[in-house]
A and B are shown apart, each in its own frame.
Chain A
Amino acid sequence: MSNAGFVIAGYGVILGGLGLYVAYLLRRLGLARDASKRLGGDVDEAP
């Protein structure tokens, strides 16, 4: 693998992983908010 290959792999995994984690976190947050709404709880952003 050339240097450029390592750079692409480095940035790709880190930035791609960051994007995936944000998506996963927002998905979990959305599901938790829905469940909280069904229970009639406070669904506003936590203090």
Chain B
Amino acid sequence: MKTRVLGFVALTAVIGASINGLFVVPADLNQGDAQRIMYVHVASAWIAYASFGVTALAGLGYLVWRDLRLDALALAGAEVGVIFTAFAIWGGMMWGRPVWGVYWQWEDPRLTTTALLLALYVGYLLLRRLTDDPARRAARAAVVGLIAAVDIPIVHFSVIWWRGLHQTPTFGDPSKILNPSAPLQFVLALLAMLGAFTLVWVYLLIRRYQLGRLAWRLEEAARRGRIAAARGAALGAAGVEEPAR
């Protein structure tokens, strides 16, 4: 019930932040309306970082405590993170074409490392399908999730470490937090969208976690059913009746 209320609040927040970003905040003097895409693009990228951070921390927790609930949380972070990374890339492409003149450029470090981030976590999700054993799957995924997380700071700092098309942080750089290189109205619109996306993110993580836990229970039931059937078949082949319980 509480999750449903959160979902409703998140939906309302996203609608409000979108109306603000699309119709209330003025267009940028140089970029025109294309700048409005920044609100969803940047918020998606930050949420993707947070999602993969959850995957890495939950994976590390699983390796320490061997609790499958942490694996369900890691999976939730990875799946939601892949969705938001795809959104960040799409938003960037829709902004890049009118402002840079190109949708994509492989020579740009930010773009290329972000594409790598997406590929790493799609690989993480595919890896999980390789085995039915929950403990083995969780351990393998935790290791891959931790290795993949190395790319998160590389993506974030790539615009500072190397030169490319992508601009340096507007206020993500520690030195610009209190002195952003954008008008306050734009910064507030971005923070509003980030807040709204954060609510959606928490809602999605909870729902995906619940699905992961239920899927695990169903897997366990199916496994127990297969074992019981195999046991019955073996006893039948040996001509032994299954003892009554």
Contact = CB atoms under 8 A, between A and B. Distances in A.
Is B a genuine binding partner of A? yes
A41 to B, nearest CB: 5
B98 interface: yes
A3 B34 contact: yes
Interface in B203-245: 203-204, 207-215, 217-218, 221
Contacts of B208: 25
B214 A33 contact: yes
A46 B204 contact: no
Given A3-B32, A45-B3, A14 B207 contact: no
A3 B96 CA distance: 11
B91 interface: yes
Contacts of B221: 39, 41
B207 A25 contact: yes
A12 to B, nearest CB: 9
A10 B37 CA distance: 6
A44 to B, nearest CB: 10
Interface of B is mostly: helix
B190 interface: no
B87 A11 contact: no
Most chain B beta-carbon neighbours within 10 Å: one of A42, A43, A46, A47: A46
A2 B75 CA distance: 39
Contact of B91 (A10, A45, A46): A10
Interface residues of A, number: 30
Interface in B37-55: 37, 40-41, 44
Contacts of B210: 29, 45-46
B36 interface: yes
B151 interface: no
A32 B95 contact: no
A26 B206 CA distance: 11
Contact of B37 (A7, A41, A43, A45): A7
A11 B22 contact: yes
Interface string A26-41: 1011001101100101
A36 B33 CA distance: 49
Interface of A: 1, 3-4, 6-7, 9-11, 13-15, 17-18, 21-22, 25-26, 28-29, 32-33, 35-36, 39, 41-43, 45-47
30 contacts: A1-B97, A6-B98, A10-B40, A10-B90, A10-B91, A10-B94, A11-B18, A11-B36, A13-B87, A14-B40, A14-B91, A18-B87, A21-B204, A22-B7, A22-B204, A25-B208, A28-B211, A29-B210, A29-B211, A29-B214, A32-B215, A36-B214, A36-B217, A39-B217, A41-B217, A45-B3, A45-B210, A46-B213, A46-B214, A47-B213
